[in-house]
């Protein structure tokens, strides 16, 4: 029979008598009580033990309660722990400062044991209810994310397309999207897009764009015509302020011709079989914003064994380092060259591993070998295609 673990309370006060009173009254009611007599010890215990609630004295020598709660609320490991201030201060501004810093309540000293028990119980109940609601919402969003990912084609389902892909959503409702299109026996279409925003509406729009691609990317229409018709529909159906950047590549493996349609998206990287990687840059308007949008068009001859990379800006952009995809892509051209001898289906994960040091098995971000940044700041799609 499993025994439920008691709720853990961290009591912080520089007066030993107060700590003993709190520990005695709470322990009798089944709580596990940790004690700290100063700010530094309180911070260490909070991080190490992750208590369910913290009783924190405001006035302590050295590091006071205001400094402690600032640390707790700025640390992701402790930010959600409810904090009740213990205060002998009656000034309103001190209490208001505590609330501004994230405290949920206060108890005035000298305190009564029954009041401590009552307030601890109330805020634990509120915390349980809030955490339960968050867990339920996260579960629903994970289901939504799984449904979104189930629409994305995989290399083993499309062997003739000769591609590898890495997809990672930073949030439950990802803004990035890709698709592989069978235009004819020898012609394939490769599409990568990045929706503005990362809300639930984005996940539903993914299905709409996928349907539009199937309907309009056919041998009858040129790539530019296909994107023009898709744009005209998106202008009508997208909510105000919504749009997507995109890149559509049409590859004819019979004629060895490739056409790139760019709609405000990072440039395609072209890696010739015996050459150096270059950017196929072409400016274009985003999809879904302007009725008369103009797209960038690039046409090149390719050879068997050539590779090209379509990716979202999360790979090469960093707001923290003030790097846009315009100059960010240039910084990583050598990285594309380093993976030229790796099987195409393994290239995207290898690139990610090199840039962000992500474990291949579980795709968790561990650290970074790159001077660029330690963590991706946005969703990432990398599509590597071999001619």
If asked whether residues 129 and 253 sit together in one domain, one would say no
342 CB-contact burial (10 Å; exposed 0-12 / middle 13-18 / buried 19+): middle
Report pLDDT for 129: 78
Q: Output the six-digit token pair for 61.
A: 């020598």
If asked whether residues 182 and 271 sit together in one domain, one would say yes
Report pLDDT for 1: 45
List strands edge to edge, sheet with 8-12: 32-36, 8-12, 53-57, 83-87, 105-108
Query: Could you give the number of structural domains in the chain?
Result: 2
Q: How far apart are CA 77 and CA 148, in angstroms?
A: 29
- 10-residue mean pLDDT profile of the chain (387 residues): values are 73 92 91 93 94 92 92 89 85 82 88 89 85 62 52 80 84 72 92 75 72 89 92 85 90 96 93 90 87 92 94 72 65 82 90 66 42 57 92
SS3 of residue 153 by DSSP = coil
Q: In the listed set 121, 142, 163, which residue is the last one of a domain according to the structure?
A: 142
Report pLDDT for 313: 80
If asked whether residues 337 and 373 sit together in one domain, one would say yes
Q: How far apart are CA 278 and CA 135, in angstroms?
A: 45
8 A C-beta contact, residue 199 and residue 173: yes
SS3 of residue 172 by DSSP = coil
Q: In the listed set 89, 114, 142, which residue is the last one of a domain according to the structure?
A: 142
If asked whether residues 63 and 193 sit together in one domain, one would say no
Range of the domain at 132: 8-142
b vs e for 117-143, b when ≥16 Cβ sit within 10 Å of the residue's Cβ?
bebbeebbeebeeeeeeeeeeeeeeee
Check which CATH number belongs to the domain holding 91 and give it: 3.40.50.2300
Q: CA 329: distance to chain centroid?
A: 20
Q: What is the pTM of this model?
A: 0.59
Asked if residue 251 belongs to a domain, the reply is yes
Report pLDDT for 177: 84
Report pLDDT for 301: 95
Q: Output the six-digit token pair for 289.
A: 């914003």
If asked whether residues 123 and 161 sit together in one domain, one would say no
């Amino acid at each position: 029979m499993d025994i439920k673990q008691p709720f853990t309370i961290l009591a912080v006060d520089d007066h030993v008598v107060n700590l003993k009173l709190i520990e005695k009254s709470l322990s009798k009611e089944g709580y596990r009580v940790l004690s700290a007599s100063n700010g530094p010890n309180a911070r260490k215990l909070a991080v190490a033990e992750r208590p369910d609630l913290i009783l924190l004295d405001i006035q302590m020598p050295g590091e006071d309660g205001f400094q402690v709660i600032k640390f707790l609320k700025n640390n992701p490991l402790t930010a959600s722990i409810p904090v009740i201030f213990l205060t002998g201060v009656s000034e309103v501004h001190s209490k208001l400062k505590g609330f501004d810093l994230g405290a949920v309540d206060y108890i005035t000293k000298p305190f009564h044991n029954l009041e401590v028990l009552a307030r601890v119980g109330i805020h634990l109940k509120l915390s349980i209810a809030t955490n339960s609601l968050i867990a339920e919402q996260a579960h629903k969003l994970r289901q939504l994310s799984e449904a979104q990912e189930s629409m994305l084609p995989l290399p083993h389902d499309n062997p003739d397309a000769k591609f590898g892909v890495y997809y990672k959503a930073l949030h439950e409702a990802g803004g990035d999207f890709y698709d592989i299109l069978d235009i004819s026996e020898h012609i394939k279409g490769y599409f990568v897009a990045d929706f503005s925003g990362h809300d639930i509406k984005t996940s539903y729009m993914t299905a709409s764009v996928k349907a539009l691609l199937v309907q309009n990317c056919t041998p009858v229409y040129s790539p530019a015509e296909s994107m023009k018709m898709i744009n005209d529909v998106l202008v009508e159906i997208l909510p105000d302020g919504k749009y997507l950047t995109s890149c559509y590549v049409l590859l004819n493996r019979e004629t060895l011709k490739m056409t790139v349609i760019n709609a405000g998206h990072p440039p395609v990287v072209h890696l010739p079989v015996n050459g150096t990687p270059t950017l196929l840059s072409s400016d274009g308007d985003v999809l879904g914003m302007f009725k008369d949008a103009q797209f960038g068009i690039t046409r090149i001859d390719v050879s068997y064994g050539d590779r090209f990379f379509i990716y979202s800006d999360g790979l090469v952009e960093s707001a923290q380092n003030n790097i846009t995809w315009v100059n960010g892509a240039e910084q990583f051209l050598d990285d594309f060259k380093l993976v030229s001898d790796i099987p195409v289906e393994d290239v995207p994960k290898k690139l990610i591993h090199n840039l962000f040091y992500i474990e291949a098995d579980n795709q968790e971000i561990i650290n970074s070998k790159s001077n660029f940044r330690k963590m991706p700041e946005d969703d990432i799609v990398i599509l590597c295609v071999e001619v």
